Homo-oligomer: A and B are copies of this chain.
Amino acid sequence: MEYTKLKEIIGDEARIVFGDEIEKEYLTDGLNLEYGKADVLVFAENTSEIIEIIKFANEKSIPITPRGAGTGLTGATIPNNRGIILDVSKMNKVLELDEENFDITVEPGVLLKDIQAYVEERGLFYPPDPGEKASTIGGNISTNAGGMRAVKYGVTRDYVRELEVVTGNGELIKVGSRTIKNSSGLDLKDLIIGSEGTIGIITKATLKLIPKPKNTVNILISFDNLEEGVNSVINIIKSDANPTAIEFMEKNIVENSERFLGLKLPSNRGNAYLILTFDGEETEIITNYTKAKKAALSSGALDYKVLSDTEAIDTWQIRGALASSVMEFNEQVPIDIVVPISKTSEFVEFTNKCGEKHGLQVIYFGHAGDGNTHVSIIRNGLEETEWKKKSHALAEELYKKSYELRGVPSGEHGIGLNKSEYYKKVTEKINIEYMKSIKKIFDNNNILNIGKVYS
């Protein structure tokens, strides 16, 4: 049988599952909308197994779909109807905490929330904060995940020092370095970050940490409408208020989330809200949020509320559940287009008009501080063929517009399977060709996550 060798590699039968016995959740991603097929699901426990599996797959030309916690939203973990699903979620150990050099070394299957808890208990801080805390760090690195705190601290890419990777050719490489600076040869590390499992599988990661901020203050600002809210963002940033996070959301979607959770936002004025977070020393926070307040009020804010601890928890819960509260009741196409912040307003306006034109409901929320809008096209009971046709047409217009505005198709979710077609349409052919050539170097027999992103 084709997969006998795989049994030898893994040994433990509990870590190999064949064909029909593979549970459905391993054939999809966080959206649970599309399902692929695979011949076998393998739970790897160490790097040597991954090397052997990849070498075996190369010999037999078997496609491999790498997988972490399966919380992605782009279909990157949906298998291509055959081959091996290579799950690294059992490789979930913290290997080393280096408090002198401010870094932590972990296996790829460690969950984001576990890293955050581990370092914060020790007075340290891992700043990247994607919405999905039950995602693996391997997945975060593979999508260059962003999240709430990117405004002040940057994204996952900014916190990866060194990676151990098994390439598609089955070679073990170390890329990056344990140092703060590095100007030594071509940057292979950043090629791996954001590559969505198309050129290598991350088996170990060293992440940069910072001292844990002493205090955190959250602010809720209300506006008459979303445009005013989004426009005030630029003034807040210009005011040098240095917020950690700036999120925006509209009343209609907030109400959805409020019902879903049984909670209430601490303000019911206006139709659009910004949530701001500030962290650091107390005096620094006060100076900063005073600057932001001035900027917001002069941009038309209706009120500016410093939240109590309980209010802050409720507000962030409501923000956190925006996506799932929509999914709970409805099918959606999630889009995480990012545009230059000055173009956010224009993009939101275009999205509105475009939704109307196609007769589809569109909601948006997201990271106002970095132009990363999360747009959801909502099905609302539309018949299957109609839904596919309309949502596809609308999505295509949005991607085209984002490109005109000097944006890119994805700010933090990645391209995966679902956006690959749009991505290839708006991206220069020459760039796609270079990516394909690079894939060929790292994955000569084209077995890793094929048909995804640029391939």
Query: Is the C-beta of A303 less than 8 angstroms from some C-beta in chain B?
Result: no
The answer to whether A182 and B144 touch across the interface, beta carbons within 8 angstroms, is yes
Give the Cβ gap from A166 to chain B, nearest Cβ, in Å.
12
Query: Is the C-beta of A219 less than 8 angstroms from some C-beta in chain B?
Result: no
* Chain B residues with CB under 8 A of A453: 185-186
The answer to whether A184 and B410 touch across the interface, beta carbons within 8 angstroms, is yes
| Closest residue of B by beta carbon distance from A181 | B411
The answer to whether A180 and B341 touch across the interface, beta carbons within 8 angstroms, is yes
Query: Is the C-beta of A435 less than 8 angstroms from some C-beta in chain B?
Result: yes
Interface set, chain A 418-432, CB cutoff 8 A to B? 423, 427-428, 430-432
Query: Is the C-beta of A247 less than 8 angstroms from some C-beta in chain B?
Result: no
Q: How far is the CA of A372 from the CA of B439 in the complex (A)?
A: 33
Q: How far is the CA of A339 from the CA of B98 in the complex (A)?
A: 14
Among the listed B101, B234, B342, which residue makes an inter-chain contact with A342, where contact means beta carbons less than 8 Å apart?
B101
* Chain B residues with CB under 8 A of A409: 184
Segment among A48-56, A59-67, A111-119, A168-176 that sits at the interface with chain B: A168-176
The answer to whether B182 and A338 touch across the interface, beta carbons within 8 angstroms, is yes
Interface set, chain A 399-416, CB cutoff 8 A to B? 406-415
How many chain copies does the complex carry? Answer: 2
* Chain B residues with CB under 8 A of A287: 281, 283-284
Query: Is the C-beta of A306 less than 8 angstroms from some C-beta in chain B?
Result: no
Give the Cβ gap from A395 to chain B, nearest Cβ, in Å.
15
The answer to whether A340 and B411 touch across the interface, beta carbons within 8 angstroms, is no
Interface set, chain A 195-209, CB cutoff 8 A to B? 195, 198-199
Query: Is the C-beta of A20 less than 8 angstroms from some C-beta in chain B?
Result: no
Most buried by B among A175, A182, A190: A182
The answer to whether A415 and B185 touch across the interface, beta carbons within 8 angstroms, is yes
The answer to whether B101 and A184 touch across the interface, beta carbons within 8 angstroms, is no
Q: 4 tightest A-B contacts by CB? A: A190-B190, A100-B342, A181-B411, A180-B370
User: Apart from A157-B187, A183-B336, what 16 extra A-B contacts exist at CB < 8 Å?
Assistant: A98-B340, A100-B340, A174-B431, A177-B407, A179-B339, A179-B370, A179-B372, A179-B406, A180-B341, A180-B371, A184-B408, A184-B427, A185-B454, A187-B195, A191-B191, A281-B287
